[in-house]
Copies of this chain bind each other. A is one copy, B any other.
Amino acid sequence: MTDSSTNMRLKLPITCFILEIILIILFGVLVEYDEDTDAKKFNKHFNTSMEHSDAENDFYYRYPSFQDVHVMIFIGFGFLMTFLQRYGFSSVGFNFLIAAFSLQWATLMQGFFHGMHGGKIHIGVESMINADFCTGSVLISFGAVLGKTSPVQLMIMAMFEVTLFSVNEFILLSILGTRDAGGSMTIHTFGAYFGLMVTRILYRPNLHKSKHRNGSVYHSDLFAMIGTIYLWMFWPSFNSAVTEHGDAQHRTAMNTYYSLAACTLSSYAMSSLTAHDGKLDMVHIQNAALAGGVAVGTAGEMMLTPFGSMIVGFLAGIISVLGFKYLSPILEEKLKIQDTCGVHNLHGMPGILGAIVGAVTASLATKEVYGNGLGRVFPDVADGREASYQGGIQAVSLAVTLGIALIGGLIVGFILKLPVFGAPHDTTCYEDSLYWEVPGEEAGHEEQLTAVKSEESDKLNS
């Protein structure tokens, strides 16, 4: 299964080495510890109020959330994609590779756009979370093209996507003043539509030749459930990781918790209802049950209430299962969008729902409800703007995000078509052995079968 065009012997090492060396040089030139990570800056008042300073280090507010997000990125996304029977090494392995690259590149790009202090990028736990967030967006796009791209293509895609993500994030958060702590727009909508456009451009008319590997086996579905459950459990940390300290983090986590719980029930209900024999479909459970987390990504930090969160989650689960069941086949047949993981159903539509919910919730914000906390959630509204203005900004942000994602995906898709990146053939998609030394599982199995057979023969004859 190896030929020169798909052989990664030189392509992958060169890509990795060049990118990493550039990263190291840029870090050396541009990056500095921030106030909370630098020994000198943090301890400048050391002798006067040490104890006080230590507990106030942002590390203690955000590091547990960071680690939960980190698990989502590397275990959650990585294992969610192991459902494919012969692509587990690539799913978790390429997830690992492109995430490790993206978080470094995102540190620079995001720092460049909104972390510069006197020509230097200042970093700490919050920038680490933001880098992981940006990485999440790349991994969503990875889900759309899963099984159909070489690791070099993925690295190139990640490089461009991180850049465009940062531009979009800068426009929304810094220029427009959008609120989007959990990234319904910046992460999910962006990552999904970018990836969908890329996979559209990379359309393979003969993908049916690899169709027999585009499915799960029993244990690969269990591995995927590890990914699902971790994403589900830690989504409250994801949405609350970079909100304001105190009530905002607390409220966001709680809203997300209830949205996900409601979403799970509606996902199970819809999965059973839409099957001709009432049997649950693992694809729905693995994905749709998470849509509730996406859909409160924007409004989670607002006074959405658990009641509101549950309604949103409930709807997200329904939409997502319907998407898998009825919309995805249409997208593939009519629009030629081959969306391996169904990211349109988990991140695309729920992301748009989340953006709309956020716009509506923002436009309903009042001093009455938020009290002195208004300025911590909606600084612009606290400064005198109308809440409806904030709602409008949120809606505009969705349009901007969709635009940048689709145009970006279009351009990057064409770049990825360049033959130099070594895309797999139509017959070798969803196949680990193209990129990995795969242990002789079947051979080994056969040997074992033989061994057992002779053992059993021995027993019978003894």
Cβ of B437 and Cβ of A303 under 8 Å apart?
no
Cβ of A9 and Cβ of B41 under 8 Å apart?
no
Q: Which residues of B contact A191 (CB under 8 A)?
A: none
Residue of B nearest to A53 (CB): B246
A37 close to chain B: CB less than 8 A: yes
Q: Which residues of B contact A124 (CB under 8 A)?
A: 250, 254
Complex CA distance for A213 and B44, rounded to whole angstroms: 59
Cβ of A27 and Cβ of B59 under 8 Å apart?
no
Residue of B nearest to A25 (CB): B307
Q: Which residues of B contact A74 (CB under 8 A)?
A: 229, 232-233
Least Cβ–Cβ distance between A296 and chain B, in angstroms: 14
Least Cβ–Cβ distance between A105 and chain B, in angstroms: 10
Q: Which residues of B contact A160 (CB under 8 A)?
A: none
Cβ of A7 and Cβ of B277 under 8 Å apart?
yes
CB within 8 Å of B: which of A62-108? 63-64, 67-68, 70-71, 74-75, 78-79, 82, 85, 88-89, 92-93, 96-97, 100-101, 103-104, 107
Cβ of B234 and Cβ of A12 under 8 Å apart?
no
Query: A17-B266, A96-B229 in contact; A59/B249 too (CB < 8 A)?
Result: yes
Q: Which residues of B contact A24 (CB under 8 A)?
A: 262, 307, 310-311, 314
A411 close to chain B: CB less than 8 A: no
Task: Give the one of A59, A92, A273, A311 with max B CB within 10 A.
Answer: A59
Residue of B nearest to A377 (CB): B39
Complex CA distance for A265 and B92, rounded to whole angstroms: 15
A278's contact among B12, B221, B370, B376, by CB below 8 Å, is which?
B12
Cβ of A100 and Cβ of B277 under 8 Å apart?
no
Q: Which residues of B contact A282 (CB under 8 A)?
A: 89, 93, 436-437, 439
Cβ of A63 and Cβ of B261 under 8 Å apart?
no
Least Cβ–Cβ distance between A3 and chain B, in angstroms: 10
Cβ of B265 and Cβ of A16 under 8 Å apart?
yes
Interface 9-residue window, one of A163-171, A384-392, A445-453:
A445-453
Complex CA distance for A257 and B272, rounded to whole angstroms: 42
Complex CA distance for A15 and B266, rounded to whole angstroms: 10
Q: Which residues of B contact A44 (CB under 8 A)?
A: 371-372
Q: Which residues of B contact A441 (CB under 8 A)?
A: 217-219
A223 close to chain B: CB less than 8 A: yes
Cβ of B278 and Cβ of A7 under 8 Å apart?
yes
Cβ of A78 and Cβ of B229 under 8 Å apart?
yes
Interface 9-residue window, one of A28-36, A141-149, A341-349:
A28-36
A332 close to chain B: CB less than 8 A: no
Cβ of B221 and Cβ of A219 under 8 Å apart?
no
Least Cβ–Cβ distance between A380 and chain B, in angstroms: 16
Query: A10-B278, A24-B262, A265-B16 in contact; A42/B82 too (CB < 8 A)?
Result: no
Q: Which residues of B contact A449 (CB under 8 A)?
A: 442, 445-446
A322 close to chain B: CB less than 8 A: no
- Pairs across A and B, CB under 8 Å, 18 listed: A9-B278, A12-B272, A13-B272, A16-B269, A17-B265, A23-B262, A39-B369, A46-B376, A55-B61, A58-B250, A74-B233, A79-B226, A85-B439, A93-B280, A219-B441, A280-B436, A442-B451, A446-B453
Cβ of B257 and Cβ of A128 under 8 Å apart?
yes
> What sequence of 0s and 1s flags, for each residue 233-264 of chain A, a beta carbon within 8 Å of any chain B beta carbon?
11001000000011111110110011011101
Least Cβ–Cβ distance between A130 and chain B, in angstroms: 13
Q: Which residues of B contact A78 (CB under 8 A)?
A: 225, 229
Residue of B nearest to A367 (CB): B40
Cβ of A221 and Cβ of B128 under 8 Å apart?
no
Q: Which residues of B contact A85 (CB under 8 A)?
A: 439, 444
Query: A128-B257, A250-B58 in contact; A373/B100 too (CB < 8 A)?
Result: no
> What sequence of 0s and 1s flags, for each residue 260-294 of chain A, a beta carbon within 8 Å of any chain B beta carbon?
11101110111011011111111001000100000
A60 close to chain B: CB less than 8 A: yes
A222 close to chain B: CB less than 8 A: yes
Cβ of B27 and Cβ of A310 under 8 Å apart?
yes
Nearest 9 A-B pairs (CB), nearest first?
A9-B278, A40-B371, A39-B373, A100-B264, A42-B247, A16-B269, A46-B372, A43-B373, A54-B246
